[in-house]
Each structure stands twice: as structure tokens, then as C-alpha cells.
Amino acid sequence: MISMTGYGYKEFQNEKVRFSLEMKSYNNRYLDLILNLPGPLSPLEGQIRALVSGRLSRGRVEVYLRMKELEEDLSLAVDKTAVMAYAETLREVQALAGIDGDITLEQLLGMEGIIKTDKKRDLEGLYELIESLFQDVLAQLIEARQTEGAETTKDIMGQIDFMEDCVNQITAFAPRMQEQITTNLKEKFDEIVQGKADESRILAEIAIQLVRFDINEELQRLNTHLEGFRNIAALDEPVGKKLDFLCQEINREVNTIGSKNTLVEIGRIVVDMKDSLEKVREQLKNVE
């Protein structure tokens, strides 16, 4: 089992650019990917989402990618139309104000849009750099999730061991419960009919009640579900959803046993099983 909680961080720098990448993940029912990218890298969002979702299947994942360009590839261009328009406007202002003199370069350069800059970025080349960075940070994140998942697995399987022991205890009490049901029914029949009822009729009624309160099928299904839990938990794939569904089936059988039960001892065991199962379900909320 793999946890959904993890963390990864790494930096990269060459002569042109410096990157820092931080990734955090938390438990979530589905994969919820939150990307925080520098504006110039926004066109790469789709590729980055595909990259992350290819390695993770569940959890809220927060990605913080920061970039600083150490060397810029700029192209400069003069907007000739803007220069002519500004110059004409300045001359008109001079004429209206009665001011003599020539228009200076400093005046024109102070006007917005005279010189246009265009930063050239090789997005394909940048993606090659951050793809490698993402793979390394994802590896850190997954390793952290696996480490925590191992601890979670240990706790959960401890609870499964406990529930299996509880099933064995209930199985041992089951014959006693049947004896109690039989004795109580005979006493009630004797009290009501005072020994005048047909013995075969009494036995038939007792048989009906024994079938009604029989818990052997529930115990068999519980053993099957607990064994299935172990098998699924051992799979090398995301198993959180499957195990949560199996817990619902286990809970159904435990509740049925509780509703049929007539012994105090079994009642206490049922309470213990419900408590243990709730601990498992709480842990599974953080399992991928």
C-alpha cells in the first residue's frame, strides 16, 4: 500500500536558467493536480499534467515550479508608426504652447511603446530540462509515499489480524449460542403449553429459529473478505478504493452478526471488531 502524503524538492541551474521545483501531496479521493507555473511556461501545462498523472493516480498534488532566466535572448524593434505619431503630436503641442526648439531623443524614448522587446524562449528545450527535474522530484515524492505507506500497511494489517482473531472467537461461541436459543425456546414452549404441545412441532419451531439466528454464513463471508483484503493489499498497484469497498462488505457482515447475536460475549467482540474496522477505514483515507 502506498500513502498519498509525500514531499519532493530539487533545483537545477545552467548558464541560462535556474529552476526550483517543489511538490507536495495529500490524501484526496481522486487525483487533484494544482499547478503553479511561471507565466512563460503556461503553454507547457498540458504536458506537465500528463507527466504527473502518469506517475500518480490519487491525492491532492500541489506543484510549485519557479524559474529565473540568467541570460535572456532579446530582440528589439522600433515601432516606426509610433515614433512618427509621437513626433507629430509633440510638434503640435509645441506649436500650441508657443515653444521653440527641436524634439529630443530623450523625449521620444520616454514615450511608451517606442521600442518593443521580444523574449525568445525555446519551450521545447525548456521542457526537456524540467521533464528531467519533474522525474527526479516525482521519484522523491513517490519514495516518501511508499515509506509512509509501509507504516500504514503495518498498522492496517495489525487490525486485520485482530479481526481474524475476533472471527475465530465468535466461531467458537456460535455452538453455545445455538444451545442457548434451543434451551430458551423449549422453556418458553413448556411455560406456554405446559407440556401439552407436540414434540415434533416444538422441534420444528426450534429449527426455524436456529436457521433465523444462524451466523455461520456471515462468519464464512467474513473470513473470505479478510483473506481478500490481504490479497488486494499485497498488489503492486493503487488499492485504496478497492480496500475501502471491501471494508463496507466486512461492516455489513459484522452488523448482521450483531443483530442476530444472543450472547453477551459475542456482543463485546462485535463492538471490538467495529472499532478495529473504523480504524482501518480511517487509515485507508490516505492510501492511494
DSSP 287: B
Calculate the CA 199 to chain-centre distance.
61
What pLDDT score was predicted for residue 37?
Answer: 96
Q: In the chain, how long is the greatest CA-to-CA distance?
A: 135
What pLDDT score was predicted for residue 195?
Answer: 57
**6-71+122-145 CATH:** 3.30.230.40
Q: For the chain, give every domain's residue range.
A: 6-71+122-145, 74-119, 149-284
What pLDDT score was predicted for residue 202?
Answer: 64
What pLDDT score was predicted for residue 196?
Answer: 60
What pLDDT score was predicted for residue 181?
Answer: 74
What pLDDT score was predicted for residue 120?
Answer: 67
What pLDDT score was predicted for residue 199?
Answer: 67
Q: What is the C-alpha to C-alpha distance for residues 233 and 242, in angstroms, rounded to an integer?
A: 9
Residues (pLDDT < 50) of the chain are none
Helix (H, G, I), strand (E, B) or coil at 69: strand
Percent of the chain that is helix, strand, coil (3-state, to 5): 65, 15, 20
Calculate the CA 217 to chain-centre distance.
34
Q: What is the C-alpha to C-alpha distance for residues 288 and 149, in angstroms, rounded to an integer?
A: 9
Cβ(71)–Cβ(16) below 8 Å: yes
C-alpha cell recorded at residue 136: 527526479
What pLDDT score was predicted for residue 44?
Answer: 95
What pLDDT score was predicted for residue 7?
Answer: 97
Element (H, E) at 243: helix 240-260
